[in-house]
Amino acid sequence: MRLRLLFITLSLLALPLLAQAEDQTVLRLGDTAEQRQWGTKSLQGVLPLSNGIRIQSVKAGAITRPIGLSHSIDVIEIMYVSPTGGTLSFVWRKPGDQANQYYQLPIALKPGTSSQTFTLVPGAVGNWTSRPVGIGFQIPAGVDITLNTVTLRGWSSGEKLLEAVRCFWSLDTFKAHSINFFWGPLLCSSPQARENLYQRQPPAALSGMRVIYGILILGALIFAFLYWRRRDRWNSGTFLRRIAFVTLALWLVLDIRMGAEHLRNWKTDVDSYLTKPIGQRVFRTIRFLPDFATASMGLLKDQPRYVLLAPTTDTIMNFMRYQTFPSVPVNPEDGSGASLWFVYERPDMTIDSQGRIAENGVPLSPPGSMVHEFMQGTYIFRVTPPSDSPVPQLKVSGIRTQP
Amino acid sequence: MILLWLLIGLLPPTLTGWLLLRLLEGRTPVLFSAERWILGFVLGITLTMFMTFCANVTHIIVFTRWGFASVQITLTVILGIARLLQWKLTPHLNLNINPNPNPPLRPLWKIILALALLWTLFKILSGTLILASTPAYFDDTLKNWNLRAKIFVQTGSLDAIPDAVGNVSPLAGYPPTVSLTKAWLSALSGGWEEGIINSIHVLWFLAALLLVYYGLRRRTSWPWALSGSLFLASLPLYFFHGVNAYADVFVSAHLFAAVNLLWVALTEHDARRRLSFFRLSALAGTLLIFTKNEALVLYLPLLLAILITGVVFLLRSGRLNMRNATEILTWYAGWIVLIALPWLVYKWTHGLTFGNAKAVSGTVMGWQPGVLRTFGINIFFEGNWHLLFPVLLLLIFTRAKTALQSSLASLLIFVVAALTMQLLLFLFTSLSAEALRQTGIGRGFVQLAPLIVMLIILWVREVFAE
C-alpha cells in the first residue's frame, strides 16, 4: 500500500517535467550588442556586418563568446553564408575549465552564396556538456564565412526522456553491414537527433543497451535489498528467480525491438519490390539494379566482359558479377577492348560531341552510342566497332523503361 | 514448386545421413528418432557433397544432374545394403529413446512459451518469404556461396574461381559444400532459381534450432529445451544469418552436432551408449573440415584436444578400458584420414589458402589496438546478441568453479577456449582488420551461438536446481 502511494506521488511530481516546452535562444550575430560578446584569437579579417559577422581568415584562429543560459543546449543550428565552405570546428568550454581550454568538434560547411543552416547534435560527443560556459568556432586559414545566427535549443528532462524512448524504438534499415552487425536500440535526446539517427555511420547516439543494463543493475540492487530485508521469507533461490525474471523480461523487450526492425524492413521489401511491377521495383540500397540487370542480361551474356560504371563499386560489382556470370564486369581502367558499358545511376556522366562517355569533360570510353536507356543516367552503351567488324544484333528483353 | 525441388533434392542426402548414423549407432541407438533425421539432413548433405567433390576431382563425374545423382544413388544403395545387413544380423531394437520426464508447468509459462513460439515462427516465415523471393543482396552470398555454385553448375567442375582480372580468387580455398549443395539443387531443377538456391539456408537454420532442442531434451524437460531453441532463434544476428544465404549457421549446426555428441559421450555413464556417441561424434567432428576453413584450423584441433583429454580422464577414472579407448581414437583417425586427406591434398596441389579468404601464412603477429573495444561494443552495446554475453560472463565469473566440477566442464571448456582463441586471433594478428570493421567478429559468434545457448540453459537450470 505504501509503495503504491509512493509511486502515485512520484508520478504526479514528474508531470511538470513532461509538460515543459522546448527552450530556444537565438544569437543574432548582426546585432551590435551580440557582436560585442564575441572575441577573437589569432583571427584576422573579421568584419561586423548588419546581417552577421564575416570572417575572411588569412590564418587559423578562433572566435568565441561566453555563455550562461537558463536552459540546456541539445541542438545547435548555425545559419551562415560561405562562398568557400570549409571544415571548421565548433568549440565549447565546460564549467570549471580554464579560460582558454576548449573542446572541439569538426563541422564540414558546404559552400554557397545564399544562407544555409548546419544542424549540430552533440549529445553523444565525448566531453560535451549541455551547459557550456563558452562557445565559438575554430576557423582554418582561407575560409570566407558570414555567421548569421546561432540557435541554441534545449529540451526539458521529461521531453528528453520521451525522446530517448522514441529513439530506442526508432528502427534502422537494411544496409550492407546488417549481415555483420546491427546498431541496435539507440538513445538520443532531441527530435533532430532521432530524425537523422541512422543516416550517419556510426550514429551519433548512445547505445540503448545502457538503459537495459541500468534497469538490470537497479533490479539486482532492489532485490538484494529485499533479500536482506526479508531474510526470513526469501532464500537465494527467490533472489535468483527474480533476477532471472527481470533478465527474461528485458530479453523479450529487446527481441520485440529487433524483431520489429526485421519485420519493418521486410515490409519495405514487400512494398517497394515484391508488389511493384517489373521496371518500377526498388530493392534496398541497390535500388533499380536488379531490374536493370535483368533487362540487360540478353546483351551482357554474349560478352566475355563489360565495363561497369556505378556510383559505388563493391556491392554493385559483386551483384553484377554474380548475375551475369560468365560475363565479367570490369572497372573502366581494365576495360580496354570491351564493347559494352553498363552505366548505372550516373546522371553526372555525359555523352560528348564525339559520342564518348565523359566525366567532367574527360572522355572515359571510346566513341559509341546508347543502346538501351532504363532511366536518366542508367543505360547500356555500345562502343562503335571498327568499320571492318560485323555489327552484332541487339537483344534487349522487353522490360518497361522508366519514363 | 520450391518446396517440391527441395524435397526431391534433399531426400537422398538426408537418407544417406540417416543410414550412416544408424549404422554407426549399431546395437545401441542413442539418438531421438527426429534428431536422427535432422542430423542425417545436416551431416548427410555434407558427406554427400564431400563424396561428390572426390568423384569430381578424380574425373569420375562432372557437376550435372546425373553426376550429382549418381553419387547420391551409389551412396544410398551402399549404405542401404549395409543397413539391411545390420538389421538382419542384429536384434531389432526399439529406436525410441525415453526423454527426460516433464514436470508440471504453470499456465503463465505455457502462455509465455506459446507466444514466444508463435512470434519466432512468424519471424522465420517472414524471413523465409523474403529470402526466397528477392535477389541475393549481401556480399558473401554474391561473391562466394552463390557465385561459386553458379560456376560449378555452369562449368561442371571445381575450376579455381578467377577474379575480374583473371587471378585465382582466395575464395576457391573455401570448402565447397554449401556451393555444391546449391549447384545440386540448380542442376536438379534445371535452372537457376534464387528461391530454391537460397531456401536451403533456412532449413539449416531450422535444423540448428531443432538440434539444440534435442540436445537439451536429452538433459532437461521440454520447456527448458524449447526455451533454448527460442532463445537461440531470438538472437538477432544468428536469426538474420539463418534467413540469409550465409554459411555460418550451417557451420554452427555442424559444430553443435560435433561438440554436443562428444560432450554427451564424455559424460555418459553407460559404456555401450558412450561408445555409440563417440562413433557419432567422430563423424560429425571430422565433417567439420568440409564446412569452412576455420573449422579445420580452429575448431577441430580444439575438439581433438578435448577428446584426448577426456579419453585419458575416462581411462584414469576406470570408466573406459584401453580397448575401447583405442576403438574411439581409431574411429576419429579413420574419419580424419578419409575426409581431411583428400581435401588437404586438393588444397595443397592447387595452391589454395587455409585462412578465411586470407592465407594463414601471410598473417602478421603483434598487438592490435582497438580490437578489444570493438569486441566489447559488438557483444555488449549493439543489437546483435541481446543479453547472451552478459549472462554468459556472469555465470563464468560466479559459477565457473562449480561448473568445472560438474558434467558441464568439457562443454564450458570448449566454448571458453573457442571464444578465447577467436579473441586472441583478432587481438594479436593482422586479422584484426576483420574485427575492427566488424566483418569477422560476428561470424565466429554465430558459429558458437547454439553451444553457448545450450551451455547457459543447462547452467541456469543447475543454478535453480541448487
Confidence bin at A402 (pLDDT 50/70/90): very low
Q: Inspect the interface and report whether the beta carbons of A182 and B382 lie closer than 8 Å.
A: yes
Report the 3 state secondary structure along A48-88.
Answer: EECCEEEEECCCCEEEEEECCCCCCCCEEEEEEEECCCEEE
Q: How many domains does one find in chain B?
A: 1
**Grid coordinates of A28:** 543574432
**Grid coordinates of A322:** 554474380
What's the rounded Cα separation, in Å, for the pair A297 and A291? 10
User: Does residue B106 belong to any structural domain of this protein?
Assistant: no
Confidence bin at B93 (pLDDT 50/70/90): low
Q: Which residues 175-204 on chain A approach chain B with CB closer than 8 angstroms?
A: 176-185
Q: Angle at CA B290, nearest 5°, toward B289 and B296?
A: 25
Q: What pLDDT score does A11 carry?
A: 64
Q: What pLDDT score does A81 carry?
A: 95
Q: Inspect the interface and report whether the beta carbons of A321 and B246 lie closer than 8 Å.
A: no
Chain A residues within 8 A of B387 when measuring between CB atoms:
212, 216, 247, 250-251, 254
Q: Are A288 and A402 in contact (CB under 8 A)?
A: yes
- Say if A288 is an interface residue toward chain B (CB within 8 Å): no
Q: What pLDDT score does A395 carry?
A: 43
Amino acid (one-letter) located at B363: T
* Of the listed ranges B219-233, B244-258, B282-296, B352-366, the one predicted with least confidence: B352-366
- Report whether pLDDT(B168) > 70: no
Q: What pLDDT score does B161 carry?
A: 60
Q: What pLDDT score does A73 carry?
A: 93
Residue A285 or residue B75, greater confidence: B75
Chain B residues within 8 A of A177 when measuring between CB atoms:
438
State how far Cα A400 lies from the chain centre. 33
Confidence bin at A126 (pLDDT 50/70/90): confident
Radius of gyration of chain B (CA): 22
Chain A residues within 8 A of B381 when measuring between CB atoms:
184, 207, 209-210
Q: What pLDDT score does B94 carry?
A: 64
DSSP H/E element including B201: helix B194-217
* Of the listed ranges B75-89, B196-210, B362-376, the one predicted with least confidence: B362-376
549540430: which residue's cell?
A: A120
Q: Distance (Å) from the C-alpha of residue A253 to the closest C-alpha of chain B? A: 9
- Report whether pLDDT(B296) > 70: yes
Confidence bin at A99 (pLDDT 50/70/90): confident
Chain A residues within 8 A of B237 when measuring between CB atoms:
181-182
Q: Distance (Å) from the C-alpha of residue B26 to the closest C-alpha of chain A? A: 42
User: Does residue B10 belong to any structural domain of this protein?
Assistant: yes
A-to-B residue pairs, Cβ atoms closer than 8 angstroms: 142
Nearest CA in chain B to A181: B384
Confidence bin at B166 (pLDDT 50/70/90): low
- Report whether pLDDT(A393) > 50: no
Q: What pLDDT score does A389 carry?
A: 53
Confidence bin at A232 (pLDDT 50/70/90): confident
Where are the strands (E) in A317-401, listed by range?
328-330, 340-343, 349-351, 357-359, 362-363, 368-375, 378-383
Average the pLDDT over B259-281 and give the result. 96
**Grid coordinates of A274:** 515484391
- The SS3 assignment for A117 reads strand
Q: Distance (Å) from the C-alpha of residue A352 to the closest C-alpha of chain B? A: 28
Where are the strands (E) in B211-368, listed by range?
none
- Say if A207 is an interface residue toward chain B (CB within 8 Å): yes
DSSP H/E element including B108: helix B107-133
Nearest CA in chain A to B440: A180
Confidence bin at A20 (pLDDT 50/70/90): low
User: Does residue B452 belong to any structural domain of this protein?
Assistant: yes
Q: Inspect the interface and report whether the beta carbons of A179 and B119 lie closer than 8 Å.
A: no
Q: Are B233 and B458 in contact (CB under 8 A)?
A: no
Average the pLDDT over B213-239 and give the result. 96
What's the rounded Cα separation, in Å, for the pair B155 and B148? 10
Instruction: State the sign of the Cα–Cα–Cα–Cα dihedral A288, A290, A293, A295.
Output: negative
Q: Inspect the interface and report whether the beta carbons of B383 and A329 lie closer than 8 Å.
A: no
- Report whether pLDDT(B317) > 60: yes
Q: What pLDDT score does A34 carry?
A: 95
In the Cβ-directed half-sphere of A332, how many Cα atoms lie within 13 Å? 16
Nearest to A334 among B123, B164, B378 (CB): B164
Q: Which of A43-47, B187-191, B233-237 has the highest mean pLDDT?
A: B233-237
What's the rounded Cα separation, in Å, for the pair B27 and B4? 35
Q: Distance (Å) from the C-alpha of residue B119 to the closest C-alpha of chain A? A: 9
pLDDT tens by residue, B240-250 = 999 999 999 99
- Report whether pLDDT(A141) > 80: yes
As beta bridge partners, residue A363 has A358
Q: Are B131 and B245 in contact (CB under 8 A)?
A: yes
- Suggest the residue from B130, B384, B397, B462 to mutate for an interface test with chain A (most A CBs closer than 10 A): B130
Radius of gyration of chain A (CA): 29
* Of the listed ranges A81-90, A368-377, A388-397, B123-132, the one predicted with least confidence: A388-397
Q: Inspect the interface and report whether the beta carbons of A322 and B383 lie closer than 8 Å.
A: no
Q: What pLDDT score does A19 carry?
A: 52
**Grid coordinates of B185:** 539443387
- Which residues touch A51 (CB under 8 Å, ≥6 apart)? A30, A146, A148
Q: Inspect the interface and report whether the beta carbons of B236 and A325 lie closer than 8 Å.
A: no
- Backbone dihedral angles phi then psi of residue B12, each to the nearest 5 degrees: -60, -50
- Report whether pLDDT(B286) > 90: yes
Nearest CA in chain B to A304: B164
* Of the listed ranges A8-12, B307-311, B379-383, the one predicted with least confidence: A8-12
pLDDT tens by residue, B430-457 = 888 888 888 888 999 999 999 999 999 9
**Closest CA relative to residue A155, chosen from A118, A117, A194, A196:** A194
pLDDT tens by residue, B96-139 = 676 677 888 899 999 999 999 999 999 999 999 999 999 999 99
Q: Distance (Å) from the C-alpha of residue A209 to the closest C-alpha of chain B? A: 5
Q: What pLDDT score does A7 carry?
A: 64
Where are the strands (E) in A123-223, listed by range?
134-139, 144-154, 186-187, 206-207
Q: Distance (Å) from the C-alpha of residue A376 to the closest C-alpha of chain B? A: 23
**Grid coordinates of B165:** 582480372
Confidence bin at A398 (pLDDT 50/70/90): very low
**Grid coordinates of B210:** 531443432
- Report whether pLDDT(A1) > 80: no
**Closest CA relative to residue A184, chosen from A75, A197, B258, B279:** A197
ipTM of the complex: 0.93
Q: Distance (Å) from the C-alpha of residue B433 to the closest C-alpha of chain A? A: 14
**Grid coordinates of A342:** 553498363
Q: Are B256 and B211 in contact (CB under 8 A)?
A: yes
Class of residue B350 by CB neighbours under 10 A (exposed 0-12, middle 13-18, buried 19+): middle
Nearest to A263 among B123, B237, B442 (CB): B123
State how far Cα B238 lies from the chain centre. 13
Amino acid (one-letter) located at B451: L
Average the pLDDT over A308-316 and give the result. 86
Q: Inspect the interface and report whether the beta carbons of A315 and B139 lie closer than 8 Å.
A: yes
pLDDT tens by residue, B12-61 = 999 999 999 999 999 899 999 999 999 999 999 999 999 999 999 999 99
Chain A residues within 8 A of B138 when measuring between CB atoms:
176, 178-179
Chain B residues within 8 A of A315 when measuring between CB atoms:
137, 139, 142
Q: Distance (Å) from the C-alpha of residue A330 to the closest C-alpha of chain B? A: 6
- The SS3 assignment for A116 reads strand
Q: Inspect the interface and report whether the beta carbons of B135 and A180 lie closer than 8 Å.
A: no
Q: Inspect the interface and report whether the beta carbons of A325 and B151 lie closer than 8 Å.
A: yes
- Report whether pLDDT(A3) > 60: no
Average pLDDT value over all residues in chain A:
88
Average the pLDDT over A257-275 and give the result. 97
The CA-based diameter of chain A, rounded to the nearest angstrom, is 101
- Report whether pLDDT(A399) > 50: no
Q: What pLDDT score does A335 carry?
A: 82
Q: Are B245 and B199 in contact (CB under 8 A)?
A: no
Q: What pLDDT score does A392 carry?
A: 47
Report the phi/psi class of residue B186: left, alpha or beta, with left for phi > 0 and alpha for psi in -120 to 50: alpha
- Report whether pLDDT(B416) > 60: yes
Q: What pLDDT score does A403 carry?
A: 33
Q: Inspect the interface and report whether the beta carbons of B381 and A330 lie closer than 8 Å.
A: no
Average the pLDDT over B168-194 and give the result. 89
**Closest CA relative to residue B214, chosen from B26, B94, B37, B34:** B34
User: Does residue B158 belong to any structural domain of this protein?
Assistant: yes
The whole domain housing B334 covers 2-93+116-465
pTM of the model: 0.89
Nearest CA in chain A to B241: A179
Chain A residues within 8 A of B390 when measuring between CB atoms:
213, 216
Q: Which of A18-22, A155-159, B354-358 has the highest mean pLDDT?
A: A155-159
Nearest CA in chain B to A270: B130
- Report whether pLDDT(B203) > 90: yes
Q: Distance (Å) from the C-alpha of residue A6 to the closest C-alpha of chain B? A: 29
Q: Are B140 and B246 in contact (CB under 8 A)?
A: yes
User: Does residue B109 belong to any structural domain of this protein?
Assistant: no
Q: Inspect the interface and report whether the beta carbons of A259 and B386 lie closer than 8 Å.
A: no
Average the pLDDT over A143-169 and give the result. 93
Nearest CA in chain A to B138: A176
